[in-house]
Amino acid sequence: MDEKHQVFSHQVEVVNNLAKHFDQILVLTGQIGNYSVPENVKVISYDWVEGKRFISLVKFYKVFLKTILQNKFTSVFSHMTSVQSTLIAPITKIMRLKHFLWYAHTSNNFYLRVSKLLLDGIITSTPGSCPISGKKIYPIGQAIDSKKFVKKDSFKGPISKLVHIGRFDPAKKIDVIIEIARKLKLINTKITLEIIGSPSSKKYEIFVGDVKNNFMEDTQSGWLKFTPSISRESIPNIIKTYDCFLHSFEGSLDKALVEATLSGIPVLTINSEYRKIFGSWDLLNPASNPTLEQEGQLLLNLSNHVIINEINRRHGIAIAEHELAGWINRLVGILKGPSKF
């Protein structure tokens, strides 16, 4: 629970919106930072320490057991915690407590497979954002607040200011993003790219340094810029100052892509989950699967009128399927639904 966290700051937002639908919510979290919650929400930390799994698990069990025995709950909702969910699943099953896990990641692991057997269900964003399938899988979209990520007033080409916002980790393929921007500069020499983000852990700091060293000439020439991570509150206003969001992560549906779509800027991505929902920039051949470079070439050759129409179409899909209010309603419906025991 930390509004300043680069990856999980939105968890506070989710808790606050769920609080409108329940009399009481108790949050168990591995770490506590800055947050503000309503009176019917209580937050308890079990102080999870990376690298000290056994001690952390013992503390987690103690806090969970104390909490579950002293309070009366109707359901348990775990967020991206397949390990902890699996460990407490036998307890929630014995106590006949509905227990659901939110998991939006393509990595399949032992704990996730066990969770599927023991839990009431696994909730995810899209069918392809979870590595397992079946009746217990509930795809409900992403949860983006359209009151914060407001569509920009108008789009004005040509596209020149590219941006990528997200954690600076190897999985995000920052080097690929930069290479694509390089190639697109052959079409429009005014193209610039800003990479906004920091590594999610210290182990990736060497990787970040290597990437920056590899592209030092580009930063020195001025068209490429690296910026440390910014607060989540500032993203909605900053993202609208760019012409296009560039992205190269393949896997689950990235929240950043939907945020950019709601903000009314074109998205260039190889992400198959995004393309399944919103399509590619090969508008005349929807069944095609262009490379990221081809996507960029297609986009840069489209007229402003065509781009604006596509931006509006994608924005409508994002509102219908990935807006926060609808996501919360779908989630609450699952959590308050009839027990399967």
CATH (domain of 217): 3.40.50.2000
Q: Give me 169's structure tokens.
A: 């980790």
For residues 328 and 311, membership in a common domain is answered with no
pLDDT over 90 for what percent of the chain?
69
**Does residue 204 lie within any of the structural domains?**
yes
Quickly tell me which residue has 């852990």 as its tokens: 201
In a shared domain, residues 170 and 67: no
In a domain, 102, yes or no: yes
**Statement to judge: residues 112 and 223 lie in one domain:** no
pLDDT attached to residue 341: 43
Whether 272 is in a domain gets the answer: yes
What percentage of residues in the chain have a pLDDT greater than 70? 97
Question: Same domain for 170 and 87?
Answer: no
Strands 41-45 and 224-227: unpaired
Domain enclosing residue 15, as ranges: 10-142+324-335
Residue 114 domain flag:
yes
Q: What is the pLDDT of residues 169-178, one digit of tens each?
A: 898 999 999 9
Q: How far is the C-alpha of 48 from the C-alpha of 56, rounded, in Å?
A: 5
Q: Examine residue 117 and state whether it is found in any structural domain, yes or no.
A: yes
Both 97 and 186 in a single domain?
no
φ, ψ of residue 101 to 5 degrees: the values are -120, 130
What band does 202 get if pLDDT is binned at 50, 70 and 90?
confident
Cβ count near 135 (within 10 Å): 6
Contact between residue 157 and residue 243 where contact means Cβ atoms under 8 Å apart: yes
State whether 285 and 331 are in the same domain: no
Answer yes or no: do 171 and 271 share one domain. yes
Distance, in Å, from the CA atom of 307 to the CA atom of 155, rounded to the nearest integer, reads 8
For residues 314 and 174, membership in a common domain is answered with yes
Q: Which residue has the higher pLDDT, 274 or 204?
A: 274
Question: Is 193 domain-assigned?
Answer: yes
* Tens-place pLDDT, residues 133-146: 899 999 999 999 99
Question: What does pLDDT average to over the chain?
Answer: 91
Alpha carbon separation from 21 to 9, 35, 99, 329 (Å, rounded): 21, 19, 17, 9
In a domain, 292, yes or no: yes
Number of domains in the chain: 2
Task: Give 17-55 pLDDT, tens digit per residue.
Answer: 999 999 999 999 988 888 889 999 999 998 888 778 888
Distance, C-alpha 156 to centroid of its chain: 27
Whether 74 and 88 share a structural domain: yes
- 294 belongs to a structural domain: yes
For the segment 206-238, what is each residue's pLDDT rounded down to a tens digit? 889 999 999 999 999 999 999 999 988 899 999
In the block, tokens 């009399």 appear at 23
Tell me, yes or no, whether 181 and 312 share the same domain: yes
Q: pLDDT tens-digit profile of 45-95?
A: 988 887 788 888 889 989 999 998 888 888 999 998 888 899 999 999 999
Is the same domain home to 205 and 75? no
Taking the model in full, what pTM does it have? Answer: 0.90
Residues 133 and 212 in one domain: no
